[in-house]
Amino acid sequence: MTLMKIVLQLALLVAIAFSIPVPRTEVGQFGIGSRVDGDYRLPNNTAPLQYNITLVPYIVVGNFTFDGTVDILLQVLEATSTITLHTNALTYNESLTKLVNQNGSSINVTSHTYDTAEQFLIIGVASQLSIGNYTLSFTYVGVLDSDMYGFYRSSYTNASGDTVWLATTQFEPTSARRAFPCYDEPALKATFAISIKHEPELHALSNMPINYTYEDSTDGKIWTVFETTPIMPTYLVAFVVSDFIAIKSDDETYNVWTKPPAIDQAQYVFDIGRIELAELENYTNISYMLPKMDQISIPDFSAGAMENWGLVTYRESMFLYEENVSTLSTKRSIATVISHEFGHQWFGNLVSPAWWKYLWLNEGFATYFQYYTTDVAEDNWRLMEQFVVVAQQATAFVSDASATSHPMNQDVASPSEISAIFDNISYRKAACVIRMMSHFLTEEVFKAGLTKYLNKMAYSAATSDDLFEALDEAESEAYILPTLVYVSDIMETWVEQMGYPVVTVTRNYTTGTTEITQARFLLGDADSSDTHDYKWWIPINWAVQSSPDFSSTVAADWIRSQDESIIISSFNASGWVIFNKQQTGYYRVNYDDTNWGMIANYLNSDDYLAIHVLNRAALIDDALNLARANLLSYSVVLDVTLYLQREVDYVPWYAAFTGLSYLHRVFANTDEYESFRTYFAFLTSNVFETVGIEESSDDEHMTTLNRINVINYACNFGLQSCRSSAEEKLINWLDNSTVNPIAPNLLTNTICAGLRGANSTTWNRALNKYLTTESSTEKTALLAGLGCSENESIINNWMSAIINSTTGLTTSTSSSAFIYVYQGSPYNVDRAFDFLVDNVNDIVSYFGSNSTVQTFLTGTAYRMTTQTQLDKLNAFITAQSAILGTAAATAIEYAESNIAWNTAYEEEVRTWLVATLAELEATATETYETTTFEEDYDDSSAATASLNFCAALLIFVCLVQTN
């Protein structure tokens, strides 16, 4: 470390020790947001200190309204004659609005101005208010609407069949103003004292414990008065009035609430949540701040969950778990969403964003901890490995590879702009970048930096710079980064610009040197008006074939944002090199063809397990996406995929299935589609044989997850052993589901797989089961499965039944049923589109609007891959332009994009498939002198087209079902 860096870091430490203010934008002494983003920001001349709120909701008897009063203790920061707050959908009794100064003297309120566009209430006074404290009081009425925002109503049906009502809240990001007039910005924190009057048979919950209750002598209702909250933003305030019951801890400081009939399904939330809350305390080295934690499931809820401080609210599907009934994915969702919301108690609640521009400081950390904390609580789930393939590869990388992505620090102003950035960038990309920081800083330094950040900014509001300064302070004590390089230098390139890089590794096998360059990775064309020079500070590390160590993930070197390229020396020319160990860096890696070839050969050897499982997944995911972006030839990519015949681990297969789903879609219905299916059915044969179609009590978590995907894809690709096993399982279940149950995790996939090649007798039995079962889970699985049939006659008859009112389907269910048809199999795309063309008027009449037809149009066009299909699409659009509206242009764009891919790549893929399948056939011929093949197939066009081809494949043909 140089003297200059030491001096600078000492200066920073001195500033922190003596509380020397650091200049910042958007945050002042009171966390006040300066109005820099437009008229939607409040002026910074007043700020709240405390709200005293009383509410009376009318949900048992009444018209779903609520009465409210609020006294706002506020501070005037500069002389003004107006006070501006947020309000939305509240009706005020203006005669009762009062303003008093700190001496208790009344000040004449002269006007109420409602700016509905900015959702402002502007209070005018007769003369200027001087700097000081004032109390502003309002009386108003609001509506308990059913739209799931603000203070709203929800309901459930009890055992007697009666509707039971409750009132609850969802304020984030800009709906607290629908419950009480307020300073509805995240940095404008205050304390809240809340009182609610309700019927005696109900009870009330809020962020804080109940202080006391008493009966109102005028009507016999109960007032519940809560303790005053710590300093917090408006969007975290919450209250619920209901008849719910709870599982409670002995001291009643940790409780889970749900409607009475479902209380037995809340035990897992109670158990796992306590473990996760304790782990977050351990990780941050900061105790949970409030005196209690309540969690409650809400029947009607717009989000998955909401992190209200001390009263976390959940959608029921993210809360209720029933052993041997709920799926493993449901259990995982519950555990991870609790970790997410509990992570917010520190990141977002204790330290809030200075403005929604820094939303990722909330959602990125919560998303990171939803995996990290659950990984600790359920230590056999391998959640941090799932993070890489689910959150990074399948989600963040895809969203952030678009020209229309946005930076993590995204300027926003209006409520609609704010809501729009609650997306994959603020959640999952941010979580990936946070994970990258934890690796290049080391977890020890990273944790120390987060503790400094949380302690320094507690009960205040932060920008990304505040986080980076704390991490820099921790790093300066450990000497991790290069001299005179700061966390802020590195991270500014990741949070202030959108997108991510592809690092290209080009080796000179004569000199032993390697050139490494960076460029923005895009799927699709760049925005021609975007002239930004996209460059990042990129941590790099690598493993080599002669010593394949993937354990150390700190940066061995850096590509700086000013570097066009860097040179690394001394790689052994005879072995591969793999960069980005465990894919801890948020970037893709491309290699020269020789290195790719070395990697492919190694993967296809018995030593492939020496490459870390996350890097095996990364190689598959990178390769498939690099080819999609025209940065790597498909022949090289497909050489890499050959190794999958050996792979049985969930993580690489998840990456493979994610990437192959795109390839499967754009290649479907082309001349060599059957060759494609045959090849990938072959690749899945070993993993299907390994995981099978039956669950076992001895299964590891990842085996169970893997089986779900393998059944889905292997049967879709036509693997005979998969389809026959699934059909047998389905028939046994239809015979007697009690004696022959299908595991909840496998119900949907087994029904779909079993019906793909089933005859009309089996299919009709499944339909009858759908129409008669009382189980919503079975209904959902069966409805999806009915569309999976690849029999043309069955599917055409089913589509006619879907829009026949006598079938007994609701219009919503009918819409889903039709979507399942064209999603269920590539063979059904033309059938669904032809049905749409021939019956468009009947479809409009049945659904009562054009929008459903438009959905069907874009859904089928998304899967069109040939010029013949496009010609039919254009003809239909020309004939029905009045019905199709703007969906027509979207549909054409989808189809043309798929055809463009085929024009560019189909010949290369076809050539590779033909050559490889011939080689596999030759290998099989040498290994097996005789092979028996018996087919039981429907006489469908797909079966006829592929029968002769399959028969020539000898050993592989018995693996592939042609119908």
Confidence class for position 16, pLDDT limits 50, 70, 90: very low
Looking at the fold, whether 63 and 201 belong to one and the same domain comes out as yes
Looking at the fold, whether 677 and 824 belong to one and the same domain comes out as yes
Q: Is the pLDDT of residue 641 over 70?
A: yes
What pLDDT score was predicted for residue 539? 98
Does a structural domain hold residue 365? Answer: no
What pLDDT score was predicted for residue 925? 59
What pLDDT score was predicted for residue 593? 97
Last residue of a domain, one of 441, 467, 495: 495
Q: Is the pLDDT of residue 1 over 60?
A: no
What pLDDT score was predicted for residue 560? 96
Looking at the fold, whether 267 and 220 belong to one and the same domain comes out as no
Give me Rg for the CA atoms of the chain: 31
Smallest CA-to-CA distance from 714 within 747, 694, 691, 743 is with 691
Give the range among 461-465, 537-541, 545-549, 933-937 with minimum mean pLDDT: 933-937
Does a structural domain hold residue 289? Answer: yes
What pLDDT score was predicted for residue 926? 52
Q: Is the pLDDT of residue 935 over 70?
A: no
What pLDDT score was predicted for residue 955? 31
Instruction: Tell me what the mean pLDDT of segment 648-653 comes to.
Output: 98
Instruction: Tell me what the mean pLDDT of segment 706-721 comes to.
Output: 95
| CATH code of the domain containing 877 | 1.25.50.20
Report the C-alpha gap between 546 and 571 in whole angstroms. Answer: 10
Looking at the fold, whether 53 and 184 belong to one and the same domain comes out as yes
| pLDDT tens profile 284-309 | 999 999 999 999 999 999 999 999 99
The pTM score is 0.91
Smallest CA-to-CA distance from 373 within 360, 361, 387 is with 387
- Specify whether the CB–CB gap between 584 and 439 falls below 8 A: yes
| pLDDT tens profile 505-535 | 999 999 999 999 999 999 988 898 999 999 9
Does a structural domain hold residue 15? Answer: no
644's tokens: 């999958």
- Specify whether the CB–CB gap between 748 and 781 falls below 8 A: yes
What pLDDT score was predicted for residue 12? 34
Report the C-alpha gap between 454 and 460 in whole angstroms. Answer: 10
Q: How does strand 460-462 pair with strand 351-353?
A: parallel
| Upstream peptide bond of 299 is cis (omega within 30 degrees of 0) | no
Is 444 tagged catalytic? no
Does a structural domain hold residue 24? Answer: no
What pLDDT score was predicted for residue 932? 30
pLDDT greater at residue 419 or residue 6: 419
Report the C-alpha gap between 369 and 387 in whole angstroms. Answer: 10
Q: By residue range, what is the domain housing residue 253?
A: 245-345
Looking at the fold, whether 276 and 261 belong to one and the same domain comes out as yes
What pLDDT score was predicted for residue 39? 79
What pLDDT score was predicted for residue 5? 39
Does a structural domain hold residue 369? Answer: no
| pLDDT tens profile 236-290 | 999 999 999 999 999 999 999 999 999 999 999 999 999 999 999 999 999 999 9
pLDDT greater at residue 377 or residue 25: 377
Q: Is the pLDDT of residue 671 over 90?
A: no
615's tokens: 């890097």
| CATH code of the domain containing 582 | 2.60.40.1910
Instruction: Tell me what the mean pLDDT of segment 635-641 comes to.
Output: 97
Smallest CA-to-CA distance from 151 within 198, 113, 116 is with 198
Looking at the fold, whether 166 and 258 belong to one and the same domain comes out as no
Q: Is the pLDDT of residue 930 over 80?
A: no
Looking at the fold, whether 653 and 579 belong to one and the same domain comes out as no
Looking at the fold, whether 396 and 309 belong to one and the same domain comes out as no
Last residue of a domain, one of 630, 650, 670: 630
Last residue of a domain, one of 630, 655, 690: 630
What pLDDT score was predicted for residue 18? 32
Does a structural domain hold residue 3? Answer: no
Question: Which amino acid, one-letter code, is at 890?
Answer: T
Looking at the fold, whether 291 and 222 belong to one and the same domain comes out as no
Does a structural domain hold residue 17? Answer: no
Does a structural domain hold residue 565? Answer: yes
Confidence class for position 950, pLDDT limits 50, 70, 90: very low
Number of domains in the chain: 5
Confidence class for position 589, pLDDT limits 50, 70, 90: very high
| pLDDT tens profile 37-73 | 347 999 999 999 999 999 999 999 889 999 999 999 9
Instruction: Tell me what the mean pLDDT of segment 420-442 comes to.
Output: 98
Instruction: Tell me what the mean pLDDT of segment 161-189 comes to.
Output: 97
- Specify whether the CB–CB gap between 669 and 865 falls below 8 A: yes
Looking at the fold, whether 400 and 435 belong to one and the same domain comes out as yes
* First-last CA distance in the chain: 68
What pLDDT score was predicted for residue 22? 31
Report the C-alpha gap between 427 and 430 in whole angstroms. Answer: 6
Q: Is the pLDDT of residue 340 over 60?
A: yes
Report the C-alpha gap between 375 and 369 in whole angstroms. Answer: 9
Mean pLDDT of the chain: 91
Q: Is the pLDDT of residue 8 over 80?
A: no
| CATH code of the domain containing 105 | 2.60.40.1730
- Specify whether the CB–CB gap between 126 and 58 falls below 8 A: no
What pLDDT score was predicted for residue 881? 93
| pLDDT tens profile 102-157 | 999 999 999 999 999 999 999 999 999 999 999 999 999 999 999 999 999 999 99
Confidence class for position 26, pLDDT limits 50, 70, 90: very low
Report the C-alpha gap between 906 and 635 in whole angstroms. Answer: 11
Looking at the fold, whether 229 and 265 belong to one and the same domain comes out as no
Confidence class for position 923, pLDDT limits 50, 70, 90: confident
Looking at the fold, whether 478 and 565 belong to one and the same domain comes out as no
249's tokens: 């801890």
| CATH code of the domain containing 326 | 1.10.390.10
Q: Is the pLDDT of residue 939 over 90?
A: no
Q: Which of 341, 475, 695, 778 is catalytic?
A: 341
Q: Can you tell me whether residue 100 is helix, strand or coil?
A: strand
CA distances from 437 to 172, 488, 657 (A): 28, 11, 28
- Specify whether the CB–CB gap between 610 and 888 falls below 8 A: no
526's tokens: 């760049």
What DSSP letter does each residue of 455-519 carry, written as one string? HHHTTEEE-HHHHHHHHHHHHHTTT-SPTT--HHHHHHHHHSS-S-EEEEEEE-TTT--EEEEEE
